[in-house]
Structure 1
Amino acid sequence: MLEERLPQLIPFADLGERARHRLLQHASTLDIKPGLKLHARDEWRHLIFLLEGRVILSDDGQSVILKGGSPESLNPLFNERDYHSHAIAASSGRIALFDRKVYENLIDGAREGVEVSEIELSDLEGELFTSIYTRAFSGELQLPQLPEVALHLQAALKDPDVDIERVTRIIEEDPSVAARLLSVANSPAMGSQREVSRLADAVSRLGLERTRQLVMALAAHQVFIRRDSPYHGLLERLWRRSARVAAISCVLADQSEAVDPQKALLAGLLHRVGALPIIGEVARSHPDRSAEDIERILYRLEGLIGELVAQQWGLASDIMAAIRDSGGPETATAAPLTDIVRIARSACTRDGDDALADRTPLAKLNAVARFGFVLDDDGQLPAIDTARREIDALIREVA
């Protein structure tokens, strides 16, 4: 099959028969399953083509679906100097891998193994993954929507000339959010003895960036707590733990000075947002599944699905990466924000009695030492205990 397809692949169309034969000697095919992920930064050795199935190509927040046999599939998945894109298999299929060096030089060379991030999915997990991705890209699946106040504020703050008056008018659209902002602005954590009663004064005290992060946090809370869901209890547990991860992320970011603490707070709050479409899909197609069944499924799929939600919400690329990758294996190329959230997730293993706690011990995370944190004899972070009052205050602020 590969020999027949080779002349159709655009980079190889002008190669002679002898050159194609040599190229085939260093080529292979790989069967793919839903959930297999390829990163462009890892695949610089290869020219990769989709032969069968469907994959989702994502680059800088933009995603397209690619089908095997389509005209677009005659080009490689990744360009030569592409270090940011990634592809996720949305169905079972097959890819072809050609040694880039052999193609460039047409000389013998040992083919090195393909490096992939693959999730071995059960039949149910593969079914859910494929259904969510396919329905999302066909427009049949309604992904979680941010409340209007958050969407309007996100759009307004893209204007460098936006002022407090305009931000105040937007927040006044949602009285519950406005009331929470006033409460936070007057909290002891703000360190002011003077109480403010006007929303504009509260926004001024908080600052535009913290106001934005708090509005997003309050909006996310509304998205998570769905009273009409048969899995309402599970959603509430997810939110409570997300609030704890967010508070710890904020404190660790501040102590390490690795990333902006307010951005870490938001990334921690949203790190499990991918659970929402999965729970909704299970409720639709497998309503007999228990909350315990869903918990196992979430750990396998929520990072991949969370990226879809993050793209729709227009979140920053580093927050999107934290949502996608903080629950997966640690990598040397991860962004600081991803690693801060990863550490916070692991720190929650004993930080509260929660069956949803991540299982990776802190001692196994290289990022702990890289950010200058020290573990105690029990393998825990003393930095969390010393900031307990701050963490508890942050949880009350967003939960």
Structure 2
Amino acid sequence: MLEERLPQLVPFADLGERAHHKLLQHASTLDIKPGLKLHARDEWRHLIFLLEGRVILSDDGQSVILKGGSPESLNPLFNERDYHSHAIAASSGRIALFDRKVYENLIDGAREGVEVSEIELSDLEGELFTGIYTRALSGELQLPQLPEVALHLQAALKDPDVDIERVTRIIEEDPSVAARLLSVANSPAMGSQREVSRLADAVSRLGLERTRQLVMALAAHQVFIQRGSPYHGLLERLWRRSARIAAISCVLADQSEAVDPQKALLVGLLHRVGALPIIGEVARSHPDRSAEDIERILYRLEGLIGELVAQQWGLASDIMEAIRESGGPETATAAPLTDIVRIARSACTRDGDDALVDRTPLAELNAVTRFGFVLDNDGQLPAIDTARREIDALIREVA
């Protein structure tokens, strides 16, 4: 059915048979149920078409009903630079998802009159990608669980009358977390000459909010380091890079005075948390895949799945947004927290053989100018070099 419908779809109508074949290699279909919601901001990597059923398209408070098979359904659900619309399935049906990057490369090749090489996912990787995406939307994909100490602390801090004694009792449930908090409270970065030995004193010195952020960071470390995984080395490198991005995010947030540094630190640590269930799924079904193979899959899925993890963990909406969008295309309406982490990801240098590198040059990010940061002649941020000692201390604190 998809092969027959593809030449009728408006963006693809003028492409040749060979281009259609490439698009089909990287396409998938998904059965939808009433109530399923798709956000344009999450689907920027795809061109999505309604094949069967009905959906309600909403944008800026205006809604229209789209029917599969209608002339309107030959256009994508969301436009290229649409990050605000959403679609809700009004009936059972089916949608088709095409890889936007493949389409853009085909268009570029057609304009330049050159052959477009085979890119992105192989057939096996495409099959894996489709399976993960479908299971994520259906709720069948296993998401990482936050350690109990973090869950209990999150719940307790929702009480405006919570006190240090109660927080201390919760943290004492996890001796390793308690020991790390004591270490941080006594670190030179806290600027105190008096060493504390009681956990309650450490919590008092750190404050409830920073204690919460640190417990979340330490819990995230426990989630990332899965020693039984065949991809343990990949997870270790991913965590080390996340710790470095977190430290840079914290320093840049402090310099910008527009973002809470501790919140930026937490988002930096968790911005790739969506990679965890994806890597787990690959380990379960295709444990022989390389880190480079996995990274191509992560590129498409980790923002969406990271948001699912953040929702399950009860994180704030601005943190969820930053996890979801900091790796996507830059938008003028992005929240400052999202942009700070986006800048940190681009500023973070390659770590040896680390394949997990964000390649958007800083000079191409408008957010750099919006925050008033200045680049040197090499396109780097001198502000990071001047804060190198602080960044290294933060990395030791959380890694």
TM-score over 0.5 (shorter chain): yes
- Whether the aligned pair in 1 keeps the contact of 2:121 and 2:296 (CA below 8 Å) is no
Deviations 1:212-246 (A, max 9, x none): 00000000000000000000000000000000000
Seen in structure 2, the aligned counterparts of structure 1 residues 309 and 72 have a Cα distance that, compared at 3 Å, is farther
Stretch of structure 1 that moved more, 359-368 or 103-112: 103-112
Seen in structure 2, the aligned counterparts of structure 1 residues 310 and 339 have a Cα distance that, compared at 3 Å, is same
Seen in structure 2, the aligned counterparts of structure 1 residues 93 and 382 have a Cα distance that, compared at 3 Å, is farther
Separation in structure 1 between the aligned mates of residue 377 and residue 107 of structure 2, nearest angstrom: 55
2:150 paired residue number: 150
Deviations 1:348-386 (A, max 9, x none): 135877432211100000000100100001100000001
Unaligned 5+ segments in structure 1 are none
Report the Cα offset of residue 342 of structure 1. 0.3
Report the Cα offset of residue 128 of structure 1. 3.3
Q: Secondary structure at the match of 2:87?
A: strand
Separation in structure 2 between the aligned mates of residue 169 and residue 97 of structure 1, nearest angstrom: 49
- Whether the aligned pair in 2 keeps the contact of 1:186 and 1:192 (CA below 8 Å) is yes
Deviations 1:84-137 (A, max 9, x none): 664599999866999999999999999999999999866445533442344345
Unaligned 5+ segments in structure 2 are none
Stretch of structure 1 that moved more, 135-144 or 287-296: 135-144
Seen in structure 2, the aligned counterparts of structure 1 residues 397 and 119 have a Cα distance that, compared at 3 Å, is farther
- Whether the aligned pair in 1 keeps the contact of 2:27 and 2:97 (CA below 8 Å) is yes
1:367-378 superposed matches below 5 A: 367-378=367-378
1:102 paired residue number: 102
Separation in structure 1 between the aligned mates of residue 209 and residue 26 of structure 2, nearest angstrom: 52
Separation in structure 2 between the aligned mates of residue 243 and residue 60 of structure 1, nearest angstrom: 38
- Whether the aligned pair in 2 keeps the contact of 1:164 and 1:200 (CA below 8 Å) is yes
- Whether the aligned pair in 2 keeps the contact of 1:36 and 1:117 (CA below 8 Å) is no
- Whether the aligned pair in 2 keeps the contact of 1:40 and 1:83 (CA below 8 Å) is yes
- Whether the aligned pair in 2 keeps the contact of 1:36 and 1:116 (CA below 8 Å) is no
Report the Cα offset of residue 293 of structure 1. 1.4
Stretch of structure 1 that moved more, 271-280 or 288-297: 288-297
Q: Secondary structure at the match of 1:166?
A: helix
Separation in structure 2 between the aligned mates of residue 61 and residue 183 of structure 1, nearest angstrom: 51
Seen in structure 2, the aligned counterparts of structure 1 residues 62 and 240 have a Cα distance that, compared at 3 Å, is farther
Give me the CA root mean square deviation: 9.5
Deviations 1:135-179 (A, max 9, x none): 345554321000000000011111111111111010000000000
Separation in structure 2 between the aligned mates of residue 106 and residue 398 of structure 1, nearest angstrom: 43
Seen in structure 2, the aligned counterparts of structure 1 residues 215 and 66 have a Cα distance that, compared at 3 Å, is farther
2:120 paired residue number: 120
Separation in structure 2 between the aligned mates of residue 62 and residue 224 of structure 1, nearest angstrom: 42
**Identity of matched residues, %:** 96
Seen in structure 2, the aligned counterparts of structure 1 residues 361 and 56 have a Cα distance that, compared at 3 Å, is farther
Separation in structure 2 between the aligned mates of residue 120 and residue 280 of structure 1, nearest angstrom: 21
- Whether the aligned pair in 2 keeps the contact of 1:35 and 1:129 (CA below 8 Å) is no
- Whether the aligned pair in 1 keeps the contact of 2:26 and 2:126 (CA below 8 Å) is no
Separation in structure 2 between the aligned mates of residue 247 and residue 270 of structure 1, nearest angstrom: 12
- Whether the aligned pair in 2 keeps the contact of 1:90 and 1:130 (CA below 8 Å) is no
- Whether the aligned pair in 1 keeps the contact of 2:129 and 2:297 (CA below 8 Å) is no
Seen in structure 2, the aligned counterparts of structure 1 residues 389 and 60 have a Cα distance that, compared at 3 Å, is farther
Separation in structure 2 between the aligned mates of residue 273 and residue 305 of structure 1, nearest angstrom: 8
Query: Aligned pair count?
Result: 399
Seen in structure 2, the aligned counterparts of structure 1 residues 236 and 99 have a Cα distance that, compared at 3 Å, is closer
Stretch of structure 1 that moved more, 270-279 or 72-81: 72-81
